[in-house]
Amino acid sequence: MKFLVENINKNSGRLGLLDLKAAGGGIQLKTPLLMQTTKGGSIPYLSADLFENYVQNKNGQEPVPVLLQLTLSTMQQMAESLALWPASLSHYLGFPGQGNVLLLRDPCESTPSGGNDRDVAPIFTRQGKESLTPERYMEIIASFKPDIYQGLCDADTNLESSKKRVQKSVDRTERFMDYIYEQHGKLQSTSSSLLAPIVGGYNIFARTQSIKHARQQPEGKYSGYILEGFHNNGLSATALDGSQLLPIVEHCVKQLEENKIKMMPGAYSPLIILELIHIGVDVFDTSYAYCAAVNFKALVFNYDEKSIEPRPTPFLDITDEAIKEEFVPLLDNCKCLTCQKHTRAYVHHLYKTNELLGPILLMIHNLHHFMGFFETIRSSIAQDKLPKLIDLVCKQNGDSKVDYSIEKNVKVISKAVVGKGFETTTES
Amino acid sequence: MSPSNIPPLTYKVVAECSVTKARAGLMSLRHSDVNTPVFMPVGTQGTMKGLLPDQLIELNCQILLGNTYHLGLRPGIETLRKAGGLHKFMGWPRAILTDSGGFQMVSLLQLAEIDEKGVNFRSPFDNSECMLTPEHSIQIQNAIGADIMMQLDDVVKTTTTGPRVEEAMERTIRWVDRCIKAHDRDDDQSLFPIVQGGLDIPLRHRCVSALMERQVRGFAVGGLSGGESKHDFWRMVHVCTDRLPRDKPRYLMGVGFAADLVVCVALGIDMFDCVFPTRTARFGCALVDSGQLNLKQQKYKNDMEVIDKDCDCSTCKRYSRSYLHHIATNECVSSSLLSIHNVAYQLRLMRTMQEAIQRDEFPQFVKDFMARHFQTEPIPEWIREALAAVKIELPKDDATDATKEAKKRTTTS
């Protein structure tokens, strides 16, 4: 993998190009980049065919390639099969020709705390907790042969973590990484690129120590950075406070090698993503779009600079009884399949009847909306207009900051109100 | 409104098998042409579980089934009317058939009671008393706007015997007249009566004769596939198709296992529906000619083949059994992937039969199919009998030892 910074704008952050040697040729991905988050190697609710035919962006006739964000916590049971699989990892998942990154944790779900014994890293899978030794981790990497993978780390920290916990996460990550750096060069028959993990919670000194350890490595040991330990994934990431998060990330970015790619997985809100891009972070994922969809929220926040009308909430709540007979698209002028062919009333009906097509249609819309958001971000940076976009996303043409945090939709779990027998009709 | 000079349903026999009663036909409906014999996937609540309308069109699905009982509850007929009918509400441009709601009442609701007025039941939501009458069923179906709708029938358990069966059959005939009278949109929607009569041949004959006196565009055969023995099942289908008119489509309700489809096409049935292909998909099972693969089984863990190398569905183009093994029943997307394959399988089976009938090679197709389908177990006796009744003699099994004979008798579902 090669990363090239193409353009740095003083006010707007940077544009780059990620060159990946995926099986069967290379793909080029533009940064700021939106990875497609997956569960068990599939984009949640969407078959590969559906995604590529109806959701994936087309640049003229050529589809814009995708980087799949795979997570070991949802895929570790496939290791044995993948060791026997003759083709590429993306191919196994039904996405031949697309790129992939293998991470440890699923950003869509909250990661339990604990299980951090001295020499193992916990991963929380469907089967329960599994303790990974660095040795086992490298065996798995050799079986998966991902295009990119992250270094093993302890990222079990958040804003509330004690100093002691933060220090432990840094120390344990160093121990894991000493082994990983050593083994990485010995990986046979793979061209997997390694991302160096940077941990240390919200503590400047701990972060500096973690960065130092990575920067001590000889040139070429790793290809980029993954910044973790700011949140415990799931909905918690959507509610992060920028005033706490941004200074610590800025501190890290300044000390990291400039020409290396920087990834921050997690369901960061659109506003935080913009501010992180402004600081110099390059790679994000679609877990925010997923978190909204499974809580029956359609993303409708505005990122069109020509818009003037205020939009006080970034979501359309599909569980709202008021849309029962709204035979209009989720979002006006949206070009996604859901909005082109279906209505609010229908998606509301699918929610009420607990039908699988409901989250499918919401994922199609939310991914489309989020992917469009990233296209706008890239063109905004090119024109050095990111601050204007930040302002629009922040206030949505209104007077105050819009709330982008996603709360658990309890209605989805306890559906008390459904139908009450047949409606009696008055019409003849 | 559609041009009212063209009937909302025309049916034409395109080819007939020279040996069996099988026929290939073309049914033209307001929303699409339908080649028969046809399998109709079930989209109970205004959606085929886990599939987009566009994906169904890609599979060349021409007609879907919707359930009146569920749709009457949610979204309800007011919303359906405002939406302009179910086609618009769910974004499905092709044909739809709706049942009458009666079967669901009796099968889902333990407290349903039937009298001359209609079906009495307690709402599953608030336990209030509700009544579904023939008029009400038609009113809901008119709001749904399906191309084909079903009369409300008096459903009894298939294993019921005695005077109740005759009463249900007679009442079904009385109710069809009430349905016809209540039907407001005969220019757009075709109402099918349902042949009842339990497992009693004279009752079935009487019911067919009475229904044939009504002005209808097609017929359904009901009251089967509910736990009766397969020996009774095929005979009832056989006596009905013997008497039903040649120039109208015949729909056998609730049948969808591959072997049953092949047998009943040979007996002269044109239309089928069943939840089985999509339900079994949700449990991680994929349909193939030799039966079904339960992909959760360990033997598929490292099986790098596709489900069926001759299948051209989007699932078989991309995914190995191994990958599907890992995600089946774990990731929601597996339901969609296996449903696509299973619906593709059913539709391809029907297309293959249409083509075989048109080439007049249907008997050979049946023999080949049964040989593939029953590779590891003997062909059930009822299938031999049913096919013999339409002049197809299947080759004898090599081994006819006692255990196999015993197994045949117990194979009833």
User: Interior CA angle at A110 toward A313 and A265, to 5°?
Assistant: 75
Best of B45, B52, B135, B275 to disrupt the A interface by mutation (most A CBs within 10 Å)? Answer: B52
Q: Which domain holds residue B298?
A: 281-375
Q: Binding site residues of A for Zn(2+), as ranges?
A: 334, 336, 339, 365
- Helix runs in B244-361, H state only: 258-266, 276-282, 314-318, 321-327, 333-358
Residues B195 and B96 grouped into a single domain = yes
The domains found in chain A, sorted by start residue, are 2-294 (3.20.20.105)
Q: Are residues B113 and B204 in the same domain?
A: yes
- Between CA B33 and CA B39 the distance in angstroms is 14
Q: Tell me the nearest-neighbour CA distance from B340 into chain A, angstroms.
A: 10
Which segments of chain A have a pLDDT < 70? 22-24, 188-190, 413-428
Tell me the pairing of strands B250-252 and B219-221: parallel
Residue A309 touches partner B, C-beta closer than 8 Å: no
Is there a catalytic annotation at residue B99? yes
Q: Give the CATH number, domain containing residue B187.
A: 3.20.20.105
Of A83, A190, A189, A206, the residue nearest A153 (C-alpha): A206
**Are B224 and B351 part of one and the same domain?**
no
Residue B104 lies in a domain: yes
Band of the pLDDT at B389, cuts 50, 70, 90? Answer: very high
Query: Does B304 touch chain A if contact means CB atoms closer than 8 Å?
Result: yes
B130 touches chain A (CB under 8 A): yes
- Verify cis geometry, omega within 30 degrees of 0, for the bond prior to B8: no
Residue from the list A39, A86, A345 with its beta carbon closest to the beta carbon of B331: A39
Is residue B97 predicted with pLDDT exceeding 50? yes
Residues B242 and B353 reside in one and the same domain = no
User: Given A40, A47, A327, which is nearest B326 (Cβ)?
Assistant: A40
Cβ within 8 Å, pair A346-B91: yes
Query: Is B52 in contact with A357 (Cβ distance < 8 A)?
Result: yes
Regarding whether B184 and B120 lie in a shared domain, the answer is yes
Residue range B332-384, pLDDT digits in tens: 999 999 999 999 999 999 999 999 999 999 999 999 999 999 999 999 999 99
Asked whether the predicted pLDDT for residue B247 surpasses 60, the reply is yes
- Judged by CB atoms closer than 8 Å, whether chains meet at A94 and B318 is answered as yes
| A158 CA to centre of own chain | 18
CB-based contacts of B291, cutoff 8 Å, min separation 6: B373
Q: Is B253 exposed, middle or buried (0-12, 13-18, 19+ CB in 10 A)?
A: buried
Residues B223 and B287 in one domain: no
Q: Is A325 on the interface with B (CB under 8 A)?
A: yes
Q: Which residues of A touch B48 (CB under 8 A)?
A: 357
What is the C-alpha separation between A249 and A268, in angstroms, rounded? 13
At B104 the three-state DSSP class reads helix
Nearest to A46 by CA among B335, B333, B284: B333
Average pLDDT over residues B124-138: 86
Q: Is residue B80 part of a domain?
A: yes
In a domain, B412, yes or no: no
Q: Which pLDDT does position A22 carry in this prediction?
A: 63
A427 touches B at CB < 8 Å: yes
CB pairs under 8 A between A and B: 155
Residues of B in contact with A319 (CB under 8 A): none
Token pair belonging to A312: 């006080």
In the stretch 26-45 of chain B, residues with CB closer than 8 A to chain A read 45
- Residue closest to A336 by CA, chosen among A323, A347, A352, A326: A347
Chain segment B287-307, per-residue pLDDT in tens: 999 999 999 999 999 999 999
Closest alpha carbon within chain B to A425: B78
What token pair was written down for B50? 């886990």
Both B55 and B112 in one domain: the answer is yes
Interface touch B333/A337, C-beta < 8 Å: no
Could you say which of B258, B275, B292 is where a domain stops? B275
Count, in order, helices (H) and strands (E) of chain B: 17, 17
Indicate if B29 and B142 belong to the same structural domain: yes
B233 band by pLDDT with thresholds 50, 70 and 90: very high
- The model's confidence at residue B236, banded by pLDDT at 50, 70 and 90, is very high
Which residues, at least 6 apart from A405, have a Cβ–Cβ distance to it below 8 Å? A235, A238, A239, A269
Instruction: Say if B157 falls within a structural domain.
Output: yes
User: Using CA atoms, how far apart are residues B117 and B171, in angstroms rounded to an integer?
Assistant: 10
Task: Give the rounded distance of the alpha carbon of B193 from its chain centre.
Answer: 15
What is the nearest CA distance from A324 to chain B, expressed in angstroms?
A: 8
Q: Are B207 and B172 in contact (CB under 8 A)?
A: yes
Average pLDDT, stretch B185-191?
97
Give the whole-angstrom CA distance, residue A75 versus residue A106: 10
Q: Is the pLDDT of residue B406 over 60?
A: no
Distances (CA, A) of A330 to A71, A341, A343, B157: 30, 10, 6, 45
User: Per the domain annotation, does B410 fall within a domain?
Assistant: no
Tokens standing for residue B79:
């919303």
The SS3 of residue A233 is: coil
Please report the pLDDT score of residue A422 as a whole number.
Answer: 47
Asked whether residue B254 is assigned to any structural domain, the reply reads: yes
Determine contact: A41 vs chain B, CB below 8 A.
yes
Q: Is the pLDDT of residue B403 over 70?
A: no
B81 touches chain A (CB under 8 A): yes
Domain boundary among B241, B275, B309: B275
B289 and B256 within one domain: no
List CB contacts (< 8 A) between A46 and chain B: 333
Q: What does the pLDDT look like over B112-121, one tens digit per residue?
A: 889 999 998 8
Spatial separation of the C-alpha atoms in residues A330 and B220, rounded to whole Å: 40
Taking the Cβ of residue A127 and every Cβ of chain B, the question of whether any pair is shorter than 8 Å is answered with no
Domain boundary among B215, B244, B275: B275
> Domain for residue B384, yes or no?
no
What is the secondary structure of B229-245 as a DSSP string? -HHHHHHHHHHHHHHS-
- Is residue A375 packed enough to be buried (19+ CB in 10 Å), middle (13-18) or exposed (0-12)? middle
Number of domains in chain B: 2
- Please state, in angstroms and rounded to a whole number, the distance separating the CA atoms of residues A187 and A146: 12
Chain A, 83 to 122: residues with Cβ < 8 Å from chain B are: 84-86, 92-94, 96
Q: What CA–CA distances, in Å, run from B281 to A359, B255, B286, B288, B341? A: 18, 17, 6, 12, 9
* Residue B288 within any structural domain of the chain: yes
Q: Do B130 and A422 touch (CB under 8 A)?
A: yes
Are B257 and B348 members of one domain? no
Same domain, B237 and B104: yes
| Residue B405 to residue B411: CA distance in whole angstroms | 10
Structural Rg of chain B based on CA atoms: 21
For residue B135, which amino acid is it? E
- From B33, B99, B126, B368, active-site residue: B99
The Cα A218–Cα A210 span in angstroms is 15
CA A37 – CA A34 distance, rounded (Å): 9
Domain co-membership, B290 together with B326:
yes
B192 labelled binding-site residue? no
Position B128 scores a pLDDT of: 77
B103 annotated to bind ligand: yes
Q: In the prediction, which pLDDT does B160 show?
A: 87
Instruction: Return the residue of B nearest to A82 by Cα.
Output: B302
Indicate the Cα dihedral angle A88, A92, A93, A96, nearest 10°.
50
What's chain B's average pLDDT? 93
Residue among B295, B217, B276 nearest B29 (CA): B217
Determine the residue type at B368.
D
